[in-house]
Amino acid sequence: MSTPETSRFVRVRVEVVLEVGDADAVTKAALRRIADDAEMPAAERTHAEGAVTEDTAEALAYLVDPFDLVSQVPGVELQQASWSSERIDYDPDSPEWDLDEDDGDGDDG
């Protein structure tokens, strides 16, 4: 169903909470990814290595790539992506972590 008023662009929002069981393995993988990036300038490489060594969340940001999520989906091309990672306090039983909170259809009330 495509009409002139229908956009071809779709925004997909994903929130993922990961439990890091081996921070050293994550850091080492991020350092390998940085080392393998032949196009990264030396100054940026030094900054990136320091960031991933100091913070596992930064290391994950170097390892999680939105392009990888959609590169095999037929008929789509990634136009823009942004992502970040941060350490959080996580309680799966807390109402704050209700995964359906953004799924409402706006008919509340």
Say what percent of the chain tops pLDDT 70: 86
pLDDT at 72: 92
Rounded CA gap, 33 and 62, in Å?
Answer: 7
Rounded CA gap, 19 and 23, in Å?
Answer: 10
pTM of the complete model: 0.71
Find the mean pLDDT for residues 53-62.
94
How far does CA 1 lie from the centroid of its chain? 30
Which of these, 2, 1, 55, lies nearest to 31 by C-alpha position? 55
Rounded CA gap, 29 and 89, in Å?
Answer: 24
Rounded CA gap, 63 and 66, in Å?
Answer: 10
Each residue's pLDDT tens digit, 33-49:
999 999 999 999 999 99
Rounded CA gap, 59 and 14, in Å?
Answer: 19
Whether 105 has a pLDDT exceeding 80, the answer reads no
Which of these, 13, 11, 7, 21, lies nearest to 99 by C-alpha position? 13
